[in-house]
């Protein structure tokens, strides 16, 4: 059903866009459409961007915050693309729509910040324009592979296909996560990572399946698996040295977040402060956060 904006709704809409890590990320094959099949266990984090949508303003995207660098402030921004597609579906317009992103999630770090921003904009505008949850989900899938997880509520979930087939799982208990964000990334990161995986055996989905069937409880570093780790340390300059130093200092398993280059640790409350301190003096930003339950 096509609908117009409701004049009684406030001119400013606000929301938060949480980050994510992949507790499990398996790449299981190459699809006929050129994309890759994945089987992944996603976990939302309390670390989040602030998102503001304003009507009656100069249209476009503005970005600020600690991690604004690297986030596009033009029509290529996923949040703006999401707004345009949803507007077309709802019979609305974006010619007086402004989106402001206060970035606490590092851009292009494997933490899903851009996809989460887009999902939050879809949810805010969807309520404003009267879009159904089905329409919002369809637009999320049109924007990319990752927004579907955030639109579905985040928390702990399994995603398959390109990432659009999302199945919520019982939330893991709240527990600390420490992120180590390198100072730089590489161009065409995701495409290069997938291309490198084409030269090694694909995963079979068994790790994701086992995680999905596990009894609810705290996640240990030993349960984390990311198939991209087979190629990431060869593609990102300096990442292998950072990873080795962190594991040496902490005595714990440190893993790749998504397609990287962010590294992360998950474990118990008593160890979190020491794990974070281990990043001191290294060429990375250290961010302490926690897991986030499904909304």
Question: Which one, of 135, 139, 131, lies nearest residue 5 by Cα?
Answer: 131
Residue 32 has a pLDDT of 83
The H or E element that residue 242 is part of is helix 239-250
d(C-alpha 227, C-alpha 207), whole Å: 10
Tokens of 246: 């962190």
Pick the catalytic residue from 20, 39, 49, 189.
20
Residue 2 has a pLDDT of 36
146 is catalytic: yes
Report, in angstroms and rounded to the nearest whole number, the Rg of the chain calculated over CA atoms.
Answer: 19
Residue 155 has a pLDDT of 96
Tokens of 207: 């790790």
Q: How many Cα atoms occupy the beta-carbon half-sphere of 118 within 13 Å? A: 31
Instruction: Check: CB of residue 54 under 8 Å from CB of residue 94.
Output: no
Measure Cα distances from 136 to 44, 79, 118, 268 in Å.
19, 13, 11, 36
Q: Which residues in the chain are classed under CATH 3.30.230.10?
A: 12-168
d(C-alpha 70, C-alpha 7), whole Å: 35
Q: Give the residue carrying structure tokens 């910040």.
A: 113
Pick the catalytic residue from 39, 49, 117, 146.
146
In order along its 295 residues, the chain shows pLDDT tens digits of 334 444 444 488 999 999 999 999 999 998 888 889 999 999 999 999 999 999 988 999 999 999 999 999 999 999 999 999 999 999 999 999 999 999 999 999 999 999 999 999 999 999 999 999 999 999 999 998 889 999 999 999 999 999 999 999 999 999 999 999 998 888 888 889 998 988 888 999 999 999 999 988 999 888 999 999 999 999 999 999 999 999 999 999 999 999 999 999 999 999 999 999 999 999 999 999 999 998 7
Question: Which one, of 181, 196, 186, lies nearest residue 286 by Cα?
Answer: 181
Residue 5 has a pLDDT of 43
Q: Which residues in the chain are classed under CATH 3.30.70.890?
A: 176-290
The CATH classification of domain 176-290, taken from the options 3.30.70.890, 3.30.930.10, 3.40.50.720, 3.40.50.12780: 3.30.70.890
74 is catalytic: no
Q: How many Cα atoms occupy the beta-carbon half-sphere of 182 within 13 Å? A: 24
* CATH class of the domain whose range is 12-168: alpha beta
Helices then strands, counting H and E runs in the chain, come out as 9, 11
Strands (E) across 135-267 are located at 156-161, 165-168, 176-182, 225-226, 255-256, 263-266
Residue 199 has a pLDDT of 87
d(C-alpha 34, C-alpha 84), whole Å: 25
């Amino acid at each position: 059903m096509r609908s117009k904006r409701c004049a009684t709704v406030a001119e400013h809409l606000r929301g938060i866009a949480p980050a994510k890590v992949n507790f499990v990320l398996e790449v299981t094959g190459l699809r006929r459409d050129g994309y890759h099949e994945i089987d992944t266990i996603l976990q939302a984090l309390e670390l989040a961007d602030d998102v503001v949508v304003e009507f009656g303003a100069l249209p476009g995207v503005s970005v600020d915050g600690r991690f604004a660098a690297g986030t596009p402030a033009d029509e290529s921004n996923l949040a703006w693309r999401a707004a345009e597609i949803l507007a077309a579906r709802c019979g609305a317009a974006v010619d007086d729509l402004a989106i402001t992103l206060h970035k606490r999630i590092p851009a292009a770090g494997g933490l899903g910040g851009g996809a989460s921003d887009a999902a939050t904009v879809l949810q805010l505008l969807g309520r404003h324009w009267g879009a159904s949850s089905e329409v919002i989900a369809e637009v999320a899938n049109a924007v990319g592979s990752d927004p579907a997880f955030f639109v579905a509520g985040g928390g702990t979930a399994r995603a398959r296909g390109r990432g659009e087939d999302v199945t919520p799982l019982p939330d893991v208990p709240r527990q600390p996560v420490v992120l180590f964000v390198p100072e730089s990334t590489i161009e065409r990161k995701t495409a290069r990572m997938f291309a490198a995986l084409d030269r090694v055996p694909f995963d079979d989905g068994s790790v994701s399946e086992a995680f999905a069937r596990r009894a609810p409880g705290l996640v240990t570093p030993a349960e984390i698996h990311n198939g991209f780790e087979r190629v990431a340390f060869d593609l990102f300059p300096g990442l292998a040295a950072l990873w080795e130093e962190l594991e040496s200092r902490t005595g714990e398993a440190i893993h790749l977040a998504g397609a990287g280059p962010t590294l992360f640790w998950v474990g118990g409350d008593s160890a979190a402060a020491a794990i974070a301190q281990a990043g001191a003096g290294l060429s990375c930003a250290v961010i302490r956060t926690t897991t986030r339950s499904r909304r």
